[in-house]
């Protein structure tokens, strides 16, 4: 499937998309391609206490903040959700999400299971997707693929991955990344279908109404 969407009309009411999946399942690859293919979906830039990796840009990949600043965001209620992942804290800023949705735009959060649960509770209209690996065995061999990791690190990553996967039953959509092209198609199909919902397109309904005689 290759999306054209040449004359695609954006919905009046955007969606809040929540994407979760264990590390090593390729969810970031799917998300990046989908944001390039489907117009009108913003990427939510999370705040994190982790250090930037090579090539990451503050304000683009994450807002890199100190622990004190993160405490301040939590205390001021400025985070829609937050969680500790691999020993660092990550959180979604509430204001950009609310302003995107308020303006009819869509926004996508790529967050962990604990954060996704908080969003499902706070925003029950959120559209939730979970990216699964082909199998646990395939995931393990991918995580082992980075030959530099020690057995202890691999075991921890595997434990964390399976903890995330245990929550997949709480999500509305499951996308299996067994073949990347297929997974891109399925992932983008969900986003487009959700944005075609009639409830998001009342203007179109009104425009099609025949004048009363
Ligand atoms: P990384 O450090 O590799 O960029 O991300 C590690 C994990 O943190 C990923 O599973 C990612 O989905 C999750 N994550 C990133 N941003 C947020 C956030 O704002 N909230 C939560 N709960 N998890 C996040």
Which pLDDT tens digit goes with each residue over 109-142? 999 999 999 999 999 999 999 999 999 999 888 8
Between the CA of 42 and the centroid of ligand 1 the distance, in Å, is: 17
Query: Higher confidence at residue 195 or residue 155?
Result: 195
- What is the percent of the chain with per-residue pLDDT over 90, rounded to a whole number? 83
Between the CA of 60 and the centroid of ligand 1 the distance, in Å, is: 14
Nearest protein CA to atom 23 of ligand 1, as residue = 111
Q: Is the pLDDT of residue 148 over 80?
A: no
Q: Ligand 1: does its nearest atom lie under 6 Å from the Cβ of 83?
A: yes
Arch. (CATH architecture) of 16-204: 3-Layer(aba) Sandwich (3.40)
Both structure tokens of 75: 């205390």
- Section 63-92 average pLDDT: 96
Note the pTM of the prediction, 2 decimals: 0.96
Tokens 């983008």 found at? 188
Q: Is the pLDDT of residue 213 over 80?
A: no
Between the CA of 67 and the centroid of ligand 1 the distance, in Å, is: 16
Q: Ligand 1: does its nearest atom lie under 6 Å from the Cβ of 70?
A: no
């Amino acid at each position: 499937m290759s999306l054209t969407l040449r004359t695609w009309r954006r919905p009046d009411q955007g969606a809040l998309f929540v994407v979760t999946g264990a590390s090593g399942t390729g969810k970031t690859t799917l998300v990046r391609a989908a944001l390039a293919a489907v117009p009108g979906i913003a990427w939510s830039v999370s705040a994190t206490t982790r250090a930037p990796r090579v090539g990451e840009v503050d304000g683009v990949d994450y807002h890199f903040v100190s622990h004190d600043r993160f405490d301040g965001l939590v205390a001021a209620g400025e985070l829609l959700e937050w969680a500790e992942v691999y020993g660092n804290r990550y959180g979604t800023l509430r204001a950009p999400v609310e302003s995107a949705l308020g303006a009819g735009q869509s926004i996508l959060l790529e967050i962990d299971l604990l954060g996704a649960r908080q969003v499902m509770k706070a925003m029950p209209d959120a559209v939730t997707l979970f990216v699964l690996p082909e199998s646990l065995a395939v995931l393990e061999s991918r995580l082992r693929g980075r030959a530099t990791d020690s057995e202890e690190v691999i075991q921890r990553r595997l434990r964390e991955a399976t903890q995330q996967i245990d929550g997949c039953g709480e999500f509305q959509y499951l996308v299996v990344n067994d073949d990347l092209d297929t997974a891109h198609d399925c992932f983008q199909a969900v986003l487009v279908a959700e944005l075609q919902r009639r409830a998001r397109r009342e203007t179109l309904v009104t425009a099609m109404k025949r004048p009363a005689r």
